[in-house]
Amino acid sequence: MKTIKELKLGFSDAQNYSQRKNKKFFNDIFVKNTFLDSLLDDNIYFLIGEKGTGKTAYATYLSNNSYKNTRGLTTFINATDYEKFYTLKQQKGLCLSDYSSIWKVIILLLLSQFILENEKSIYPLNKSKLKAIQKAINEYYSKAFSPEVSQIMNIVDESEIFAKLLCKYSEASGKQSQTIEFSETKIQHNLYYIEKMFSNALSSIKLKDDIVLFIDGIDIRPEKIKYEEYIECIKGLADAVWFLNTSTFANIKGSDGLFRVVLLLRPDIYYSLSLQNAAAKLKDNAVYLDWTTTYENSENSILYDVANKILSNDQEFDPNIEDYFKVYFPWKKDDRTAFMEFLKISLSRPRDILMIMQIIQENMNRNNSSSMCSFKKEVYESNNFQNSYSEYFLSSLKDQLSFYYSNNEFDLLVEFFKKFDESTFSYQDFCTKFDEFGEYILNNENDIPEFMTNQNKLLQILYDSNIIGAIENAESNAVFYHFSYREREIYNIYPKVPIGENFIYCFHYGMYKKVKLGRYELTPKS
């Protein structure tokens, strides 16, 4: 059995597993479950999950492997790509429908690139249209057919030039029967022509397997782009994904495999898009990653399976060991197992559980105790661990809220936390602190941040971000803890914060140490 030091716990960011050197390890620790199989459904166009729930991990696994006649590829959209959108909007006066047209071209080009680079997945039939597209792209770039999203945006920016190249090579192949007029002032017309050329080319391909394009990186809003502008851009992407899946790809006939695009989104961002029939799309066309469990069922949960799989990886066979998590974490705290403790301080996300194990391992390495074959309870209870984990927890919150707020606004939010002296507070306590902090901002800041314009709005933000939970005093003296991540589900994507005489509020344990409020006990709902 491996010592603590010898354990390889992996990466907290699954994007690392797309690198060739890490693919085998990822395959060894990856747990195939119902989430993975649900993603293979032809009607799934959205993968929804909180930050750290594994959206990138599932996309990466399907991109690294051919699984049940499905091959995936993952595209990460970065800040530069969005900034190009913003620049085009300023220069050419683009609207939402134009955003959708641009995204269609990007998606179709990326799929075409994948087809040409992986010809073994395709029956060798009717690829002349794609070859004509390849020649046009090669001439445009004067290099191999391997554009990134930022390069594709150059095609959009110079749509007139590229449309003429497509027309030229189509005519040379005998595929174009009429002369098409293109103009710099008619970007919509140019994009429509490019889209049709790609759509027709892909429609002629006979696939052996399903090919799924995962689009990731949506959760990070570039600081330079205003929230409203970004939402407009992402809504255009969602519209493009929906149209291509339900119209373009759905109408392709005579192919064993299908094309599909899946958009990776946090639930709060999906809610912000205000898509038409959003609730129906979630029910029929989305996989929602929900890892929540109860104390009673924790050891039978898929979250427990993930932790156990990591710890059992690359171990020599030992007939006496059935559960590696229990071997490495044999201790209890009060009546709670180690895994129950992990649930208490986490948001029931795989990344949280992994980070807890990594921090304990790092502390034991520093303490020269990593030659042991079990994780020490004393390390988990130490101030060093509590501080490190709280730092991670708060950093995750910052990443999440940066989608809506600037760094300065987030710092003000943390200052607001520090105004509380107790672990729990009433609604009236909150309103009092809200008013006091409003005066503080007026005296020390130039502007009132948007989240301080309404006390109930701020309470909802704190609840939706899992910064606070609501404690319900029910009948018969029963007590229930409500956190947004536990209440959120496919039919309730944006849980409302409970307000009433029978509710008080508490900060989540994971961040409690960071805001210097000490420790306290919370129990997941049964």
261, 400: one domain:
no
Confidence category of residue 147, pLDDT binned at 50, 70, 90: low
Confidence category of residue 515, pLDDT binned at 50, 70, 90: low
**Domain finish residue from 251, 267, 288:** 288
Predicted local confidence at residue 19, as pLDDT:
93
Q: In this structure, how many other beta carbons lie within 10 angstroms of the beta carbon of residue 308?
A: 20
Distance CA 354, CA 346 (A): 10
* Residues 273, 238 contacting (CB under 8 angstroms): yes
Query: Rounded to two decimals, what is the model's pTM?
Result: 0.91
pLDDT at residue 52 is higher than 80: yes
376, 458: one domain:
yes
Please state the rounded mean pLDDT for residues 334-344. 94
277, 306: one domain:
no
* Residues 444, 475 contacting (CB under 8 angstroms): no
For residue range 421-466, what is the model confidence (pLDDT) as tens digits?
A: 888 899 999 999 999 999 888 888 767 888 888 999 999 999 999 9
CA distances from 190 to 162, 176, 193, 195, 202 (A): 9, 16, 5, 9, 19
Predicted local confidence at residue 520, as pLDDT:
40
Distance CA 53, CA 291 (A): 8
283, 373: one domain:
no
Judge whether 293 lies within some domain: no
Distance CA 51, CA 452 (A): 24
Judge whether 20 lies within some domain: no
186, 332: one domain:
no
Judge whether 160 lies within some domain: yes
Residues in the chain, total = 526
Write the Ramachandran bin of 478: left for phi over 0, alpha for psi from -120 to 50, otherwise beta. Answer: beta
Predicted local confidence at residue 236, as pLDDT:
93
Distance CA 344, CA 259 (A): 41
Residue 88: closest CA among 106, 69, 70: 106
Beta strand spans in 419-494 (E):
424-425, 468-473, 479-482
Least confident range of 20-34, 102-116, 154-168: 154-168
* Interstrand relation of 259-265 and 46-48 (parallel, antiparallel or unpaired): parallel
359, 241: one domain:
no
Residues of the chain above pLDDT 70, percent: 91
Predicted local confidence at residue 510, as pLDDT:
86
DSSP for 97-140 reads HHHHHHHHHHHHHHHHHHHHH-GGGB-S-S-HHHHHHHHHHHHH
Predicted local confidence at residue 20, as pLDDT:
92
461, 480: one domain:
yes
269, 159: one domain:
yes
pLDDT at residue 317 is higher than 70: yes
Least confident range of 6-10, 235-239, 327-331, 510-514: 510-514
Residue in this structure with the two tokens 């989104």, named with its chain if needed: 265
Write the Ramachandran bin of 331: left for phi over 0, alpha for psi from -120 to 50, otherwise beta. Answer: beta
Work out the mean pLDDT of the chain and round it to a whole number.
87
180, 55: one domain:
yes
Predicted local confidence at residue 143, as pLDDT:
54
pLDDT at residue 108 is higher than 80: yes
Least confident range of 74-88, 284-298, 335-349, 384-398: 74-88
Judge whether 496 lies within some domain: yes
Predicted local confidence at residue 133, as pLDDT:
74
Distance CA 305, CA 288 (A): 18
Number of domains comprising the chain: 2
pLDDT at residue 142 is higher than 70: no
What tokens appear for 415 in the block? 């200052």
**Domain finish residue from 269, 288, 307:** 288
Judge whether 520 lies within some domain: no
Distance CA 154, CA 136 (A): 14
What tokens appear for 432 in the block? 């009092």
Confidence category of residue 92, pLDDT binned at 50, 70, 90: confident
Q: In this structure, how many other beta carbons lie within 10 angstroms of the beta carbon of residue 172?
A: 11
Continuous segment of H or E residues that includes residue 443: helix 427-444
Distance CA 341, CA 334 (A): 10
Distance CA 46, CA 287 (A): 6
Predicted local confidence at residue 477, as pLDDT:
76
Predicted local confidence at residue 156, as pLDDT:
83
Predicted local confidence at residue 248, as pLDDT:
94
For residue range 122-134, what is the model confidence (pLDDT) as tens digits?
A: 665 556 667 777 7
* Residues 15, 57 contacting (CB under 8 angstroms): no
Continuous segment of H or E residues that includes residue 352: helix 350-366
385, 253: one domain:
no
For residue range 212-221, what is the model confidence (pLDDT) as tens digits?
A: 999 999 998 8
Please state the rounded mean pLDDT for residues 242-264. 93
> SS in 3 state form for 241-287?
HHHHHHHHCCCCCCCCCCEEEEEEECHHHHHHHCCCCHHHHHHHHEE
284, 311: one domain:
no
Judge whether 110 lies within some domain: yes
Judge whether 524 lies within some domain: no
Judge whether 330 lies within some domain: yes
Distance CA 370, CA 362 (A): 9
Q: At what angle do helices 128-141 and 96-117 cross, to 10 degrees?
A: 110
69 or 188: whose pLDDT is higher? 69
CB neighbour list of residue 296: distance below 8 Å, 6 or more residues apart = 526
**Domain finish residue from 230, 258, 288:** 288
Predicted local confidence at residue 522, as pLDDT:
41
* Residues 71, 121 contacting (CB under 8 angstroms): yes
Predicted local confidence at residue 469, as pLDDT:
95
State whether residue 319 is helix, strand or coil. Answer: coil
Strand partners, 506: 424, 469
Confidence category of residue 526, pLDDT binned at 50, 70, 90: very low
Please state the rounded mean pLDDT for residues 284-312. 96
* Residues 282, 59 contacting (CB under 8 angstroms): no
Please state the rounded mean pLDDT for residues 40-54. 96
Residues of the chain above pLDDT 90, percent: 55
Please state the rounded mean pLDDT for residues 334-349. 94
Distance CA 337, CA 344 (A): 11
What tokens appear for 481 in the block? 């803890």
Domain range holding 202? Answer: 34-288
DSSP classification of residue 16: G
277, 327: one domain:
no
